[in-house]
Amino acid sequence: MSDDNNLVAEVRSEFGKGAARRIRAEHKIPAVLYGHGTEPQHLTLPGHETALILRKSNALLTLDIAGTPALALVKDVQKDPVRQIIEHIDLIVVRKGEKVTVDVYVHVEGEPAVGTIVALDANTLSLEAEATHIPESITVSVEGLEAGSQIHASDLTLPAGSTLVSDPETLVVNITVPAVADLGETEETEGDEAAEGEAEGDAEDASGDAE
């Protein structure tokens, strides 16, 4: 967990769309913190600092709420679909040593055999990990793999301290051969058929002229 994830959160007492617009106009972000049986806390987070932290998935925040520290995991981020401005954040309270379930991105490294391509069938997998040690990604190597090779979730080496929650049979990576040759043959066939059609048309025209 990085010290850069420290944020000072303000407790807010105004709610509704109008209040949210005013908060965003001040370059801040409305948020709600809940979990562990506590009453939801309505907060305001600094916009720029929060946006920088959220560039990483599964960001764990260390909040200073009126002098009281709290660990929080980002649960949901709502953005304006056009401007991509963060409109609201849902946070859940977590504690050191607590296990949480998170979706972690799959990162492919290496090059498969010449003439093959990598099809990533699962972009993320669900893992259980300690709240303070959530992995940024799961690395899978495809170095030298031949066409027809498949990697399932159960084949992966997971980050230390993590356990798999997703179905072990989930197909993660599939090594295939691009269907360029088939496309070429199709185009050639279509071209031949068109040429034959034109030839037949010319023959019919010639026959008509002869009559």
pLDDT tens by residue, 77-88? 999 888 888 999
Per-residue model confidence (pLDDT) at position 63: 95
* Backbone angles phi and psi of 14, in degrees to 5: -100, 140
**Rounded distance, CA 48 to CA 45, Å?**
9
Compute the half-sphere exposure of residue 184: CA atoms within 13 Å on the CB side of its CA.
4
Q: How many CB atoms lie within 10 A of CB 113?
A: 14
Per-residue model confidence (pLDDT) at position 151: 98
SS3 of residue 69 by DSSP: strand
Per-residue model confidence (pLDDT) at position 210: 46
> Average pLDDT, stretch 120-139?
95
**Rounded distance, CA 123 to CA 146, Å?**
21
Please tell me which residue, 128 or 57, carries the higher pLDDT value.
128
- Summarize pLDDT for 182-192 with one digit per residue, the tens: 444 555 555 55
Per-residue model confidence (pLDDT) at position 39: 87
The answer to whether the predicted template modeling score (pTM) of the entire model surpasses 0.85 is no
Beta-sheet pairing, 38-46 with 28-35:
antiparallel
